[in-house]
Each structure stands twice: as C-alpha cells, then as structure tokens.
Chains A and B, each alone.
Chain A
Amino acid sequence: MIEIRIHGRGGQGAVVASQVLAAALFQEGKCVQSFPTFGVERRGAPVAAFTRMDDREIRLRCEIYEPDHLMVLDPTLIEAIDVTTGLKENGWIVINSDKHFGEFHLPSKFRIATVDANAIAVKHNLGTRTAPIVNTAILGAFSRITELVSIEAIVAAVKEEVPLNPEENAAACREAYEKVRGQNITP
C-alpha cells in the first residue's frame, strides 16, 4: 500500500486533489481510498488530505500517520508546521514553489521536487493572482516525479472531477508535468 498526504491551506483545493488522485489511480486499475482531515476547515488555515492506493482491496479505515509521499500546496507551511511528520524514508515532497528544490533544507532522507504551480495556475486563469488554485498543477508534477500515476489518467480524472474550467485545469496539469524539477529530473 502507498499512502500520500497533501498539505494545503483551506481553500487551495487539497481535498479535491486527493479525490482527483484517487479517481486517476482507480482508472488505472488500482484500489483507492481518499479522505480529508477529519474535522472542520477554515479558509487559510493549514489542512491536509490523504489518498491510499494498493493492488488489493483497501480495508484499513483509520487515519494515515506514516505517509510514503507528500504534496505541499503552500511552501509557507514548511515553516509553520512540520510537514514531514511520519514521512517514510526516501519519500518525495513535491512543493509548490518558485525556488530550486536544492534551496529547501529538509532532512536528506527525503527527496524534494518543486514546481511553480502558482505561476502556472495564474497563467491558466485558475483562481486569482493572490489566491491561485494550484491543486491540479501539483498533481501533474506529482505524476512526473513519482511515476505512480500517468499524466493521461490525471488529466482524465481532472476533467471528470473538477466541475469548473476543466480544460484550463488539464492544461495546468500538463504544464506542471513538464516544468517540475527534482533530484531525478534536472534541466
């Protein structure tokens, strides 16, 4: 089983991202489960959402404490909370940031990738300049970096699961897929 945790702020679309990822993995024949942090959500406050994937039926119905990989929709969360809590060794941390992945000083047992999802979202008119909706872009980056799910499945799931601007969201996914940089993909 692979468990993924998505960190964001209320309103950034972390929950939708966890659902799109689950739908994409399901299209590829995986067993899936996704859920938000159990509780209340406030706009701007730190939130998390989760996806489980496996080749066999998922029967575990408890929260995720030791994820395999992370996505971080807002880089300021890295200073505000310990996003790496419980993260397994060699886990990927895919961060929405305009910085180079080498500029993040996180423990070396983790692997880091960055993509400027803000800029990509703004370019495709997703959200506003001050509050871009970056959840679909980060999924494109996640697909490229982890190779757990194909970009085609992500794009198809975005079109099915995201009611507003499906074409723009799909384009943002593809652009982030191309632009993401990590230890395994360097220019």
Chain B
Amino acid sequence: MKKVITGNYAVSYGAMVSRSQVIAAYPITPQTQIVELLSEFCADGLLDAKFIKVESEHSAMASCIGASATGARAFTATSAHGLALMHELLHWAALGRLPIVLANVNRAMGPGWSIWTDQNDSLSQRDTGWLQFYCESNQEILDTIIQGFKISEQILLPTMLVLDAFFLSHTSEPVDIPDIEVVDTYLPKYNATYRLSTENPYAFGGLTGPDHYFEIRYKMQETMDQAIEIARQADEEFERIFGRSHGLIERYYSDDAELILVVSGSIASTTRDVVDQLRSEGRNVGMLKVRMFRPFPRQEFRNAVRRAKKVAVIDRNICVGFGGIFYQEITSTMYGHRDDLPIFGFIAGLGGRDVTPNVIHEIVTHAETHDTPDTEIIWIGVKR
C-alpha cells in the first residue's frame, strides 16, 4: 500500500511490519512522532508489542538490552542528546551481541541549542560497534529497518539507521508500506541461540579477564567484516521480494566520471538532480552515496573510484580538530591504493543549513578548478 507519509512515520511503519516485540523509547524533537505513532499502534492493537515508557534514553536502551537478551525483537528511536545519553549502553548492546535496531534522527548537538540536522550525533557513536546506515528517502528508511533486523539477527550486532532531521523526518512523500505477511517471509521470527530464561539459565555480561576480552573484540571485528557480505545478500533478497534495493555504496553515473562526489543522507537525493544537470552540460561528474558507514565497505569504495581523477567528499559534520568524518574515512580507505587521487573535503550544511543545488554546484566548481585541495577542510557557505 502506497501512502504519503513523513520519514518519522516511515520509521514507525517499518518497526511495525518488522513485528517489533518490545519498544522502549523516550520522546525527543524531531523524533517524537516516531514514538507517538508506535504507541498508538500498540494501543490500537495493530502491533503486538510491549511499549515501555521510560524516564530517559539511557533507560530506553537498557530496556532494549534486557528485552533483546530474552530473545525478543527490540526497537527504539532517538536523536542527538538522547543518543548521546545512551552512549554507555550502545557499547553494552554491541558487546553483548544483541540485535537491537535503533532509528536516529540526525540533529545537531547543542549548545547553541539546535533541533536541525547534522550528522555529529550519530558519527560520535561510530566506535560503539553498531552497524550504521545513512538513509536518503522515506522509502529507504522503512526498508532499512526491515533489513536492519534481518542483518543484525544473523550476525548478532545491533543496527543504527540514520535519517536527517526535517529534510526526511518531517517531509511527507509516497512510501510503499509492504504487507506484513510478505515481510514475514523475508524476516522470520527471531530465534536467539542464547537467551535469558528461567528454564535454561545463562549468565550474561560477567567479569571477563585479559584471557578472554581480547577475543571478544576480535570476534566483533571478524563479524563486522562478514557483515558487509551479509548486508549485500540481505539487500539482494529484499529486491527479489519487494522489487527495491538500496546498495551499500550506490554508484550514480560514477563509473566513467572524472569527478566523483561522495555524499550521504538526504544530500544524495539533491545531488542526483545536480549530476543530471551537469551531465547534460557535458561535465563529467558522478556520485557515490555511502549508505553503509559501519562496517565501511572499503573494497567496494576503492573499486568505485578506480577510474576517477578527483573525489569530493561532502560532510554535514565535523570532527573538530581534524575535519570531515566521511573525508577522514575515505582518505584512510584510499591510503596506499590511489596515492595519485586528489581527495577534497568539503564541510556544508551544519546545524541544518540548507544544502541546495547551488551549494552542490559551488562544490563541483571548486573541485573542477583546483588540481589538488589547498586545505584539508574546505568550508562552503560559512560566514567568516
């Protein structure tokens, strides 16, 4: 059924058709509508889930951890300061190997108090051991929740999917909401091998000495390496059933492009229009959309820029003291592989500053007219 809904509601419908069994969440702008609709689904009997109202995001994640440990499918949603408050328990969920799915609405960290989009909240959680997907459209948001459970329950690591505040969270567009029975064929009931149960008791999260902790990390990394192939398979199976796929790193006119723009989130969507226009003017520009950020599909990225002459990364975030975070990942990915390839790092759109086609044109023109970047950080649209 196609309905015109917001990105927030796409999250709620995604959690519903995935038959989430426990939802523990705390409202925070601009995510609140997600939790509101899910609580209505539960109250109206449309979703057979335990909805737990909690007193903080820290408790929300703690509840999801408890639920997931019993073998239940657990879901939560948050944003910015809420995600930051969960930080300790994000590590706990990942090290506990719990397949929780979390939707984070990208919002700038305060102060200055902001409710507008910016990727620093989710990117600050990069090293917690969660898979991360950055979404471009409301359809992709809904689909990524279903895929997130599918992937997480195979590899026993949690998934965070990320959507831009307002540009997705509050923007309505047509979304195909798949039939729950069809989703069942793609995403069967979660069957945990080890679960918290009085019938067959196990202890979880106990003291782990230097003899064993090291191996927990090794196993996590090994799983993350496998997660790339498992996510690819999950996307392919999704396409066979639902007729849509989203890729891990999507190529858009990039195979023969001299200049490749590397983007994520809703900026990717606007960039498609810009690339089409530039191509019609005979300018050889393409785009790569990084959908999967953790694990980072390094080999797929290297293959995709094999023939490029320049790469321009657009970051709606900044690692203060270094530069754009996607830029950092990509320069590191390319180190020793294409040392002849200039990589430009652009910072744009922080704190919800609009990234219009003109902003993207400015970035393209800068990259086209410079042989190599003058600086590690190229600020676009900043008032100095």
Contact = CB atoms under 8 A, between A and B. Distances in A.
Interface of A: 18-19, 22-23, 26, 31-36, 38-40, 58-63, 65
8 contacts: A19-B4, A31-B174, A33-B171, A33-B173, A34-B171, A38-B352, A58-B173, A59-B273
Contacts of B105: none
Nearest to A15: B170
B254 to A, nearest CB: 16
Contacts of B197: none
Given A39-B115, A40-B115, A61 B171 contact: yes
B172 A35 contact: yes
B172 A38 contact: no
Contact of A26 (B165, B168, B174, B355): B174
Contact of B4 (A34, A59, A63): A34
A60 B116 contact: no
Contacts of A18: 172
Interface of B: 2, 4, 115-116, 165-168, 170-174, 266-267, 269-270, 272-273, 352, 354-357
Contact of B171 (A31, A35, A39, A59): A35
A59 B272 contact: yes
Question: Which one of A18, A60, A65 has the greatest number of beta carbons of chain B within 10 Å?
Answer: A60
Contacts, number: 61
B357 A62 contact: yes
Contacts of B273: 59-60
A60 B357 contact: yes
Nearest to A1: B273
A22 B270 contact: no
A61 B170 contact: no
A32 B3 CA distance: 11
Contact of B270 (A39, A59, A65): A59
A10 to B, nearest CB: 15
A34 B115 CA distance: 19
A18 B6 CA distance: 12
Given A34-B4, A34-B173, A39-B115, 9 more contacts: A35-B166, A38-B116, A58-B173, A59-B273, A61-B168, A61-B171, A61-B270, A63-B356, A65-B356
A159 B352 CA distance: 34
A60 B354 CA distance: 12
Nearest to A157: B4
A61 B357 CA distance: 9
A38 B356 contact: no
Contacts of A33: 171-173
A54 to B, nearest CB: 11
Nearest to A19: B172
B170 A60 contact: no
A61 B269 contact: yes
Contacts of A58: 173
A158 to B, nearest CB: 13
A32 B171 contact: no
A33 B167 CA distance: 11
A62 B172 contact: no
